[in-house]
Structures are given as C-alpha cells and as structure tokens.
Amino acid sequence: MTVMLGDPIERRRADLVTVDERFALVARGDENVERLYAGGRWLEGPVYVPAWRCLLFSDIPNDRILRWDEVSGTVSIFRQPAGYTNGHTLDGLGRLVSCEQGNRRVTRTEADGSITVLADRYDGLRLNSPNDVVVRRDGSIWFTDPPYGITSDYEGHKAEQELAGCHVYRLDPSTGELRIVADDFARPNGLAFSLDESQLYVVDTPRKHIRRFDVKDDGRLAGGDVFAPCEAGVFDGIRMDADGRVWAATHEGVHCFDPDGTLLGKLLIPEVVSNICFGGPKRNRLFICATTSVYSWLLTTNGAPQPYS
C-alpha cells in the first residue's frame, strides 16, 4: 500500500461548471482540488514521470525545473539553471524531452543525465523559443515555436527573432530532419495528438482557438479548421484523455471538450492556468500548473497513454 507522507497545502471544493451533461462522466471523482505547491512565479510544462513517481514542471521566470515527489509530497529543484524550460514530455523510452525557451532549443535528457540538443535551428536560423512538445508513436517530435522567450528577459533572453514566423515543427530524431508542418499560426502553443494519431490539435494563443489537423501518412498536415474557441482569455497547454476528450488550460481554469468540439464543462481555478497533464500510477489525476501554484484533481477518466500525454 502506498503511504502518502505529504499533505497538500490546501484542499478546496472543486469549482465545477457543467455545460453539457456528458461532463459528469469525467467529473464524478474527488470533490476537492488539492493545491500541491505555491512557490512559483509562472509555472508551466508539467509532465508526470511514472518511473520516478514525480511531477516535473517549469518555473520559467525563476529558470528552474521543479520536482514534486508523489510519495513524500515534497518539492525540490530538479535543475537550475534550466535554459528557461517551458513544455516537457516523455518520449517512447521514457526520456524527458524539453523545450528550452531561453536556449531556444529542444533537448532530451538521457538516462545518465546528459542533455542532447535535438533541434535549435531551422535552415541555419535560430528557433524563436520552443514552447510545447509532444512525441508521436513513431518517435517523431512535434513542437511549437512562438517568441515568448525572446520578447523580454522575463521568460528567457530578449533577442531578435531570426525566423520569419512562428511555426509548428516536426523533428525526426533518427535523421535530424526538421520540417515546418504548419506556417499559418500567430503564436502556436499547446499541442496534442488524437488517440490514433490521425489528428493533431494545436493552440493558436492570440487567436484564442484550438485547430485540428489531419496527419498524413508522410507526416504532413492537412485541414486545420478551428476545433474550439476559447471563451475565457486564451488557451495555452492542452492534453488528451483516454476517450479522446481535449482538456485545455485557460485564464479561468481547465476546459474539457468532447471530440465533437462541444465544451462539456470547466474546472475553475483561482489563478490563470498555463498547462496541464495527466499522471499518477493510474493516470487519472489531472495536474494543473496555474501561475504560482500546482493543483491536482482526481478524475473518473484517465489520461491518454504515453507518449501522447
């Protein structure tokens, strides 16, 4: 039996808004939301690491990756400086893949702790500041590249943008080939594959919507219609659950969408939410990075299996 040594800082009643009755299918779990940590400045990029029973997340302006230990409930520094990391995910071998906004690159942390640079330039020009990343089952690494890490020194290092736009990229780590797969975004941000990987959802933050693309056999994208608009500020990170629902970070909390695009319901959070992920041994715990704090909520659904979520 697992003994939980660490108590959350606070438990508060889950503040739910049901928009569609189907939301009850996922929201019949814990009545309370737990606040696990409250010492950040702008928290982002949560990833649950099953092998270590921990959540890693970025505290971007403080240039550190923090580690919440699931067994003890304690939070410690995993890496600092950290290249102003933002989004993280795990690849198919459980290795940490990170967007380093400050270093303007995507990296992988190897089993021995060394860091491998996967991508830092396109066509000889430096990337803007990779923001969020997801790995497909074939090993390809897909990431977004808005300029949030170079527009000021707050979340990285102020610098000129070298590339003409803010694109979505696909990297083949076996060959190093980096390809632009979408070039018509204002500032692409969170992204997630559908369960069968035939579709890719990508947030365009300033346009306040999520788009959905078809993924071709050769890895190219088609379509890209708006899947859902944001009715509370802007979207940032998104994740997929095991039934194909899309969970999205907004300015008022987390919104849950059916695959048909219907807004099913909301979990309101008292801070602006940046990003989310599923975790816990059963992947039925939603971790929420929200400005200064990390919250969690136990669901009656599960996150999509790794490596997608």
Long-range contacts of 117-120 (CB under 8 A, 24+ apart): 118/171, 118/173, 119/143, 119/169, 119/171, 119/178
Closest CA to 221 of 238, 199, 203, 193: 199
Contact window for Mg ion (CB under 5 A) among 2-10, 103-111, 186-194, 258-266: 186-194
Cα–Cα dist 143/188, whole Å: 9
Interface of this chain with Mg ion, residues 127 to 146, rule: CB under 5 A = 131-132
CB of 14 or CB of 133, closer to Mg ion: 133
Tokens encoding 49: 């690491």
CB of 3 to Mg ion, least distance (A): 35
Q: Is the peptide bond before 305 cis (omega within 30 degrees of 0)?
A: no
**SS3 state at 259:** coil
Contact window for Mg ion (CB under 5 A) among 125-133, 172-180, 192-200, 280-288: 125-133
CB of 14 or CB of 65, closer to Mg ion: 65
Cα–Cα dist 272/25, whole Å: 25
Contact window for Mg ion (CB under 5 A) among 58-66, 163-171, 189-197, 224-232: 189-197
CB of 99 to Mg ion, least distance (A): 8
Q: Is the peptide bond before 81 cis (omega within 30 degrees of 0)?
A: yes
Query: Site size for Mg ion, by CB under 5 A?
Result: 4
Interface of this chain with Mg ion, residues 193 to 222, rule: CB under 5 A = none
CB of 290 to Mg ion, least distance (A): 13
Closest CA to 77 of 90, 63, 94: 63
Contact window for Mg ion (CB under 5 A) among 35-43, 67-75, 97-105, 188-196: 188-196
CB of 8 or CB of 307, closer to Mg ion: 307
Contact window for Mg ion (CB under 5 A) among 112-120, 235-243, 261-269, 298-306: 235-243
CB of 8 or CB of 149, closer to Mg ion: 149
CB of 145 or CB of 236, closer to Mg ion: 236
CB of 44 to Mg ion, least distance (A): 6
CB of 143 to Mg ion, least distance (A): 11
Our finding on whether 236 is near Mg ion (CB under 5 A) is yes
CB of 273 to Mg ion, least distance (A): 11
Cβ-based neighbour number of residue 267 at 10 Å: 25
CB of 100 to Mg ion, least distance (A): 13
Are residues 145 and 161 in contact, defined by beta-carbon separation less than 8 angstroms?
no
CB of 27 or CB of 65, closer to Mg ion: 65
CB of 97 to Mg ion, least distance (A): 14
State how far the alpha carbon of 175 is from the alpha carbons of 92, 111, 281, in Å.
17, 21, 33
Tokens encoding 277: 């992920």
Closest CA to 17 of 27, 25, 5: 27
Interface positions with Mg ion (CB under 5 A): 131-132, 189, 236
